Amino acid sequence: MSSEVYYLGVDGGGTSCRARLCDAAGKVLGEGTAGSANPRLGLEYAYANIIAATQSALAAAGADRSILSSTYAGLGLAGVAQQKEYDLVMSHPHPFADIALMTDAHTACLGAFGGESGAILIMGTGSCGVAYVDKAFHVVGGWGFPVSDTGSGATLGLMVLRHSLLAYEGMAEFSPLARDIMETFSNQQQNLVAWMDQAKPRDYASFAPRVFQYADKGDPVACKLLTALAEEAAVMLRRLLQLGAPKLCVMGGLSQVIKPWLPQDVTSYIEAPVGDAMDGAIRLIRQKQEAA
């Protein structure tokens, strides 16, 4: 390790944190992982996991903590879209030479297109679209379930639960999927309501795989719901194109399984990403240095 300057890219999601250490030439030296780095779950907890992932990357690189004073860190973290959390993270003591911070969606977009113009749609438990056009970011959606996060796993879960309840009461088609859903609640509406009272977005999203399973069997309700969900995603993708994005990437746990359901007018723009969110985080801190 002869380079005097190092770069660290951190992808801090709601469930895990990944860190990649590179030298000044961009060679990957080591990677590490740790728990959630979402500051909305606790600033000290988030920073502890950032440091833990960093130390894991250092160990993989055969380096020690002393190089962190000459390491420039780009942080892409969930939960920093609000100014309060952004300011808290930026003002927290850290061991690095300097840091740059954006949301993990922003760094994923930077990484996906190698810093060139393009847009991503992340479809997991929630959803968020980010366009990077002429060195400016534009965000669509991502305000949280249930008021936002269209085209997401949580939204699909809500759709199938709502349909199944209607079907059970004779107001919609009672397909095998709907029957299966209601059997989960022992065919008791009040059981579904009791579940709803304590359910989190991830709990709604847990029903999404079942919709895809039944769609593979030709279940008409499952197919109808996936067509509707794909159109929600397509609306977001079309908006990203309207904002000037020349190409698209879809990411997240739902992205590949929903892709066959997307309309052709958006799929023709979809490409494979050239890099990930850690690449984007490193690009972010490099851009900050270049602008200084």
pLDDT mean values, one per 10 residues, the chain (292 residues): 82 91 97 93 95 98 96 95 94 98 96 97 94 96 92 98 98 98 98 97 96 99 99 98 98 95 98 96 96 83
How many Cβ atoms from other residues are within 10 Å of residue 247's Cβ? 16
Q: Are residues 41 and 81 in the same domain?
A: yes
3-state secondary structure 241-281: HHCCCCCEEEECCCHHHHHHHCCHHHHCCECCCCCCHHHHH
Three-state secondary-structure class, residue 188:
coil
What's the CATH code of the domain at 225? 3.30.420.40
- Which residues touch 292 (CB under 8 Å, ≥6 apart)? none
Q: Are residues 230 and 167 in the same domain?
A: yes
Three-state secondary-structure class, residue 121:
strand
Taking alpha carbons only, the member of 153, 190, 146, 198 closest to residue 169 is 190
φ, ψ of residue 161 to 5 degrees: the values are -65, -45
Give the total number of structural domains in the chain: 2
Q: Is residue 108 part of a domain?
A: yes
H-assigned helices in 79-175: 83-91, 104-112, 153-168
Q: In which domain, by residue range, is 66 found? A: 6-114+274-291
Q: Is residue 32 part of a domain?
A: yes
So what's the pLDDT on residue 3? Answer: 52
Question: Which amino acid is residue 18, in one-letter code?
Answer: R
End-to-end distance of the chain based on CA atoms, in angstroms? 26
Q: Are residues 26 and 87 in the same domain?
A: yes
User: Per the structure block, which two tokens stand in for 150?
Assistant: 């269209």
φ, ψ of residue 233 to 5 degrees: the values are -65, -40
Q: Are residues 166 and 250 in the same domain?
A: yes
